[in-house]
Structure 1
Amino acid sequence: MTSKSTYRKFDPWRTAPVSEVSRETVVSGHYFNVDRVSYNSAPIGHFQRYLLQANNGESVGVIAVTEDGTIPLVEQYRLPVHRWTLEIPAGHSDNGVLSPLEVAKLKLKEEAGFEAEHYQQICRFVNSPSFSTQHTTLFLARGLTPAHADEERLLTSVRFATPQEALDMVESGTIIDAKSIIAVQALAARPDLLQ
Structure 2
Amino acid sequence: MEIPIVLEERFLCRGRRLEVIQRIYRYGDKEFIRDIVRFGRSVAIVPLKDDGTVIMIKQFRAPLNRWIIEIPAGRVEPDENPDDAARRELIEEIGYEPLELRKIISIYMSPGYSDEVLDIYIAKKLVARERKPEVGELIEIIEMPINRAIEYLIAQGETDSKTLLALLLTKNYMEKGDNISQ
**TM-score, normalised via structure 2 length:** 0.86
Measured on the aligned residues, the alpha-carbon RMSD in Å equals 1.9
Distance in 2, matches of 1:93 and 1:73, equals 19
Partner of residue 5, structure 1: none
Contact 2:106 2:120 in 1 (8 A): yes
Deviation sequence 1:174-195 (CA, Å, 0-9, x none): 6722221221111133323577
* Structure 1: gaps (5+ residues): 1-13, 151-155
1:46 aligns with 2:28: no
Moved over 4 A (4+): none
Q: 1:123 aligns with which of 88, 102, 105?
A: 105
More strand by share: 2
Distance in 1, matches of 2:104 and 2:5, equals 34
**TM-score, normalised via structure 1 length:** 0.81
Distance in 2, matches of 1:88 and 1:175, equals 15
Deviation sequence 1:127-146 (CA, Å, 0-9, x none): 11111111111110111122
1:15 aligns with 2:2: yes
Distance in 2, matches of 1:102 and 1:24, equals 33
Residue type matched to 2:100 in 1?
Answer: H
Contact 2:77 2:85 in 1 (8 A): no
* Structure 2: gaps (5+ residues): 133-138
Moved more, 159-168 or 108-117: 108-117
Deviation sequence 1:66-108 (CA, Å, 0-9, x none): 122111111110010111011111111112x321111111111
Q: How many residue pairs end up in the alignment? A: 172
Q: 2:74 aligns with which of 91, 112, 115?
A: 91
Residue type matched to 2:58 in 1?
Answer: E
Distance in 2, matches of 1:187 and 1:165, equals 13
Q: Secondary structure at the match of 2:63?
A: helix
Displacement of 1:111 in angstroms is: 1.0
Overall identity of the aligned pairs, in %: 22
Q: Secondary structure at the match of 2:21?
A: strand
Distance in 2, matches of 1:48 and 1:178, equals 28
Contact 1:77 1:83 in 2 (8 A): yes
- Rg bigger for which structure? 1
Contact 1:187 1:193 in 2 (8 A): no
